Each structure stands twice: as structure tokens, then as C-alpha cells.
Structure 1
Amino acid sequence: MDLTPTDWQLWIAAALVFGGLEIKLSGFVTLWFAVGALTSALAAALGLGINVQLVLFTVVSVALFSASRTIFKRAFMRTASPLKLGVEAMIGQEALVTEALSDPHGGTVRINGELWTARSLAGPVAEGERVTVEQVEGLKLWVRRPSASLEVSAQKKKERVS
């Protein structure tokens, strides 16, 4: 009895290893190599040479990998908004007034654990009040009370309807 593995058995073993890695890892990466190995196992069982098997493995794996990235990106990332970082992420967030915001000079607000110079877009704001960041200009935040920003957006909606 000959216990030497044949080509197709080695390709099946490779497919099982890639399949096991896919279960352990995330990201649909090694799955496509497992499918490529199964394709090469089929080619080996049909009696095709090792060069054909290696080319099939490479072509099938790379084709599936690149196609799946495109398909998954279109299917799952279609509604994703771009990630906002730094000052872009501050717009629309709430901040706590730590130094009253007066008309001529502004004051200070705390947002994300940091103190920022701020000016009010809707009149003076007392210390301890919550405000919403409307825009960032250099190192200065332009803020307004949440109720004031709701009133402005309601007015804009009325203007659009009219």
C-alpha cells in the first residue's frame, strides 16, 4: 500500500489549512486561497501538470480576492460617510462653557477634554451652559446654544418651503 500523497491530496490539505486560517482570522483573505487550492486539486485530479496547477491557483485566488474587495466595498461601504478627524469632527458636537462668552472678546469652552477659545454666534452665553460647535476658524470655535441652532435650522426650512 502506497502512502505517498498525490498532488490533488496536497491541494486539498492546503485548502483545509487556508479554510482553517479563514475561520481563525477575519477579513475574507485566506478564503480565496482555499478556493484556489480546491481549483488546483480538481486540475490535479484531471491529470494536469504542476505548472498548470500553480497558474490556476494563482489566477483564481487573485481574481477572487480582487473581485471580492470591490464587491464588498460597494455592498457594505455604500452608505458609509467619510471618517472625520480633528477639527472636522468637532462641528456639531456639544461643548461646555467654562468662561462666559461675551460679545466683544468671547470666552472658553471645553470639548473632548480640551479648552478652546470660543465666540458665540447668538449673543452672550453664561458659564456652565452647553453650546453646539457651528464652525472652526483656526484655533477659535464659533458656537451657539443648542436651542438657537434649532431655531436657525427651523427658519431655514421655512425659507426653503416658501
Structure 2
Amino acid sequence: MEWFDEYGWQIWTGLMVLLAAAELLSLDLVLLMLAAGAGVGILTALIGLPVAAQIIAALATSVAMLALVRPGIVKRLHSGPELTLGHDALVGKQGVVVAEVSADSGQVRINGELWTARAYDETRVIPEGARVDVFQIKGATALVHEIPRLDPPPNHSEN
């Protein structure tokens, strides 16, 4: 063990480099977490702690990294943007009424496409030319709601 006391930091450094290089082949982040533990082994060897303390510190760090850090990183790497495809991609979009929309019928243009539409609020009638939000798609019919228009205040000019 005298030899390890003298060359401990070099052994830990070699182990860390070996584990980090092996991680490039596995890409599972386990070996990288173990390499972080070896990094703590380097620090404990440099400050002169006994070999047993170096090993305990390296193991504790490795276990903590595997339990606390790795799951979050893996989750981030494996999740991506949520893709909405088909009709669901139209929900939340805006369109323009091309034929008056009521509870029974109507047509809107959404993303350049003509869609059959009905008013989401069955008591409303949406006039032609109004801008609408798409709330839901049922089959081939868009359920829409008129976007309230803010008319500019009248221009009061004094003569």
C-alpha cells in the first residue's frame, strides 16, 4: 500500500481516463459517473488522505452520481420535442371564415386549406371574414371560436 500512497493520484487519473474513454464506446453514462468518482479519488489522493478514505470517497461519489445525476441526464437526452401530427396539429391555429359559421355549418381557411367548420359555442354565428381560433377537430370538421376584434377608437377631429 505504500506504493499506492506514493502514486495514488496517478493511478486514479489513469482509471478516470480509462473509464471516460470506455464511456465513448458504451454511451450509457454509467462509466462516466464512475469516472467522476475516480476524479474525487484524485482529489483525495492529492490532499493526502489514506487509501481507504480515497476508495470510500470515490465509491460514494460514483454511487451518488449514478443515483442522483445520471437519471436526470438520461431523461433529458431521451426526450425530445413532442410531435403533433395530422388534425391535432391544427388545434390552437388561427383561420379565417370564408362562409358564415354557425352551430350547423360553415367554412374556414386554416393554413391555406379549406375546412368545414362549426361554432364551438353553439349560440354564436361567426360572420365571413372573421378570424377564428381552432379549439377542436371532430372528424373533418373544425370547431372554432371567433377572435374578438378590437376596433380602433373613432377619430374625433374638430372642425
- TM-score, structure 2 as length reference: 0.48
- TM-score, structure 1 as length reference: 0.47
